[in-house]
Amino acid sequence: MIMDEGDRIGLIVGIIFAALIILWIIIRETIDRKRRQCSQCKKKGALEEIDRQKIKSWTTYGTIHEKKPVLDNKGKETGNYIDTSREITELHTLYEIKMKCKYCGYEENRTDEEIKQNR
**How far apart are CB 98 and Zn ion at their closest, in Å?**
14
Is residue 113 within 8 Å of 92, Cβ to Cβ?
Answer: yes
3-class secondary structure, 35: helix
Single-letter amino acid, residue 8? R
**How far apart are CB 50 and Zn ion at their closest, in Å?**
13
Nearer to Zn ion, 38 or 99 (CB): 38
> For binding to Zn ion (CB under 5 A), which residues are involved?
38, 40-41, 101, 103-104, 106
**Of 91, 100, 96, nearest to 112 (Cα)?**
96
**How far apart are CB 110 and Zn ion at their closest, in Å?**
14
